[in-house]
Structure 1
Amino acid sequence: LSTIAWILLLSPKIGLINLAIKGILGLESAPFNIYTMGGMVWAEAIHLYPLVFLLMSAAFRNMDTSLEEASLSAGSSTFETFRRITLPLMRPAMFSALLIMFVRGMEAFEVPALVGVPARISVFTTKIFLAIHQFPSDFGLAGAYAVTLLVISTVGVLVYQKVTRREEKYATVTGKGYRPRVIDLGNWKYVTCASAFAIFFLAVVLPVFILLWSSFIPYYGVPSWELVGKLTLANYQYILSYPLALTAFKNSFYLSVGSATLVMLLTSVIAWITVKSKMPGRIFLDNMAFIPIAMPGIVLGVSLIWVYLTLPIPIYGTIWVLLLAYMTKFMPYGIRAASASMIQINKELEEASLASGGTWFQTFKKVILPLLMPGFVAGWIYISIISLRELSTSILLYSYSSTVLSIMAFDLWEGGQYTYVTALGVLMVLLLVAMAYVARQLGAKIGIAE
Structure 2
Amino acid sequence: MHDTVLARETRTVVSPSRIELGAGAVGTVGGHAARYGDTALVVATERIFEFHGDTVVDVLDAAGVDAAVYTDVRPDPTVENIEAAYDLYDRRDCDLIVTLGGGSSIDTGKGAGILATNKGSIREFGVDRAGYEGVPEPTPPLIAVNTTAGTGSEATRSVVVSDESTSTKFLIVSANVVPDVAIEDPELTVSLPRSHTAFTGIDALTHAIEAYVSVKSYGVPDGYAEAAMERIARSLPVAWANGDNLSARADVMVGQLQAGQAFTNASVALVHGLARPLGAQLHLPHGLANGLILPYVVDFSAVAAPEKYADIARILGVADADDTTREAADAAVDGVLRLCEDVSLTGYLDSFGEVPPREAYLDVVDDMAQDAIDSGSPANNPRKPTRGELVDLYLTIYDDALAPDSPRRS
Q: TM-score, normalised by structure 2?
A: 0.27
Is the radius of gyration larger for structure 1 or structure 2? 1
Structure ranking higher in strand proportion: 2
Q: TM-score, normalised by structure 1?
A: 0.25
